[in-house]
Structure 1
Amino acid sequence: MAAREVLESAQRFPSGARAASELASRVSEVIDFAVRARGRASLLVPGGRTPVAVFEALRTRTLPWDQVYISLTDERRVPVTDEASNARLVQTHLLQDRAAAAHFCPIHRESVDDRADEAACGAALGMLPRPFDAVILGMGADGHIASLFPDDPNLARMLDPRNEARCATARAPAEPVRRLTLTFSTLLQSRWMALHISGEDKWATLEAAVASADPHQYPVYALLNQRQVPVRVYWSP
């Protein structure tokens, strides 16, 4: 579907709790099917505040969690003890209750340079069954997805669907500035994708992205406009 069609087919919910519940239910179905089909399932998740409700809804589901491999779409290059760490977020809010049995593969290695961190990220992703069964993405008010930011000087390379690199170091416009992200081509190596956002400002960003048709101004446009993997938008006020 073209970007406008993806937006028009978005699932709009009256509350964040309802959106989180519905998304958790759909991800549960994807995971269950994947385990039955090939014995393992893989799930990539974002950081930030929005997915917390999804994590807490998902972790109580009765699933074959010991056959599920979880990793991140991007990471802040901080220690896992730092409150900004996406790995810490996942450990605190997702890898609890029944989901504690899942295999978590963090992508960031502390105290290494850019190239070594990219290599560590690639190695971590190598532990997951591919193509990924489910990928959940968030979006910032500036239209960034994962850590693919509009003003990053390396954005064109990271968005290139022919880029064979699994991961790339990136720079955010706000602290923590140093980031690690899956490249766009890696994110697309998936069977099912969801864009989970909340707030009228985020919806306005999606509208602006579609109107601009410019992935370098709004990286989310690249996601909405690609035809390789269907994307479902989950939105709430």
Structure 2
Amino acid sequence: MHARNTLESALCFSDPAQTVDAVTERIGNIIRFSVKARGRASLLLPGGRTPVAVFHALRALDLPWDQVYISLTDERRCPPDSPHSNARLVREELLVGNAAAAHFYPLHRQGVDERADEAVCSAALGMLPRPYDAVMLGMGTDGHIASLFPGAQGLQKLLDPQTEARCATTTAPSVPHERLTLTLATLLHSRWIGLHVTGQEKWQTLQAAIESEDEMTYPVLGLLNQRQVPVHVYWSP
């Protein structure tokens, strides 16, 4: 199975700091190469706690930040100054110092309805060079990626690699924030995908996903099973 092969080739580290270093080094090299080869680089980033250490390490790198275009894999439909905002997270934890020169395009606009917000999301993504040079993803203990949650309405369409939709509104089941998420098809419009996970529980989730062969229960499996873009798993206990 393709997903099993992906997990067998995962880069596993004993120390979370080593995982951060490996992810940071790879993304930094991608940015340098992309700017040198094409004049600019594009990067999609997740929210949550796991990527913060990577953000701190990235912002310390000497990179051509003014030629880097950044957006998000998903967002909560909340005010931009909310502690729940992924855009706020990126602004405060990554776009600091030299990294503040990067071009950042948030996905959400406050005060618009769902359809208009999906259009805002799509327009923001349209500002980034495509294919995206790097897409960094995390995963929840329930097997969700971006805001593609188990049991979400219309999940089968959102995980369809051929869907034309770039973005969709959805709701997290456990913490019922309204959200915007990129579809799997949008995430796959990339040259490199890194899945950064920490903790034994999440490793067990990945193994359970592969055993289940059920993308509706474990949306991460849609990412691992596709054959368009190699997925590089980075894990530490």
Q: 1:131 deviation in Å? A: 0.2
In the TM superposition, structure 1's runs of 4+ consecutive aligned residues that sit over 3 Å from their partners are none
Q: Does 1:53 align with 2:53?
A: yes
Residue type at the aligned position of 1:144: H
Q: TM-score, with normalisation over the residues of structure 2? A: 0.98
Q: Distance in 2 between matches of 1:16 and 1:51?
A: 11
Q: Distance in 2 between matches of 1:20 and 1:111?
A: 36
Q: Does 1:158 align with 2:158?
A: yes
Q: Does 1:100 align with 2:78?
A: no
1:229 equivalent in structure 2: 229
2:201 equivalent in structure 1: 201
1:213 equivalent in structure 2: 213
Residue type at the aligned position of 1:212: S
Q: Distance in 2 between matches of 1:80 and 1:100?
A: 17
Contact 1:84–1:176 (CA under 8 A) maintained in structure 2: no
Q: Secondary structure at the match of 2:156?
A: helix
Structure 1 regions of 5+ residues with no counterpart?
Answer: none
Q: TM-score, with normalisation over the residues of structure 1? A: 0.98
Q: Distance in 2 between matches of 1:29 and 1:167?
A: 28
Q: Distance in 1 between matches of 2:88 and 2:19?
A: 23
The one-character-per-residue Cα deviations of 1:187-215 (angstroms, maximum 9, x if unpaired) are: 00000000000000000000000001111
Q: Distance in 1 between matches of 2:98 and 2:135?
A: 20
Residue type at the aligned position of 2:70: I
2:132 equivalent in structure 1: 132
Q: Distance in 1 between matches of 2:110 and 2:158?
A: 22
Contact 1:71–1:104 (CA under 8 A) maintained in structure 2: yes
Q: Distance in 2 between matches of 1:27 and 1:171?
A: 30
Residue type at the aligned position of 1:65: W
Contact 1:76–1:85 (CA under 8 A) maintained in structure 2: yes
Matching of residues 119-198 of structure 1 within 5 Å: 119-198=119-198
Residue type at the aligned position of 2:68: V
Q: Secondary structure at the match of 1:205?
A: helix
Matching of residues 10-21 of structure 1 within 5 Å: 10-21=10-21
Q: 1:177 deviation in Å? A: 2.0
Q: Distance in 1 between matches of 2:169 and 2:109?
A: 12
Q: Distance in 2 between matches of 1:15 and 1:123?
A: 39
- Larger CA deviation: 188-197 vs 151-160: 151-160
1:91 equivalent in structure 2: 91
Structure 2 regions of 5+ residues with no counterpart?
Answer: none
Q: 1:174 deviation in Å? A: 2.6
The one-character-per-residue Cα deviations of 1:119-170 (angstroms, maximum 9, x if unpaired) are: 0000000000000000000000000000000110210111111110110001
Q: Secondary structure at the match of 1:69?
A: strand
2:23 equivalent in structure 1: 23
Q: How many residues align?
A: 237
Identity fraction in percent: 64
Q: 1:16 deviation in Å? A: 1.5
1:113 equivalent in structure 2: 113
2:67 equivalent in structure 1: 67
Note the aligned Cα RMSD (angstroms): 0.9
Contact 1:76–1:176 (CA under 8 A) maintained in structure 2: no
Residue type at the aligned position of 2:132: F
Residue type at the aligned position of 1:198: T
Q: Secondary structure at the match of 1:7?
A: helix
Q: 1:176 deviation in Å? A: 4.6
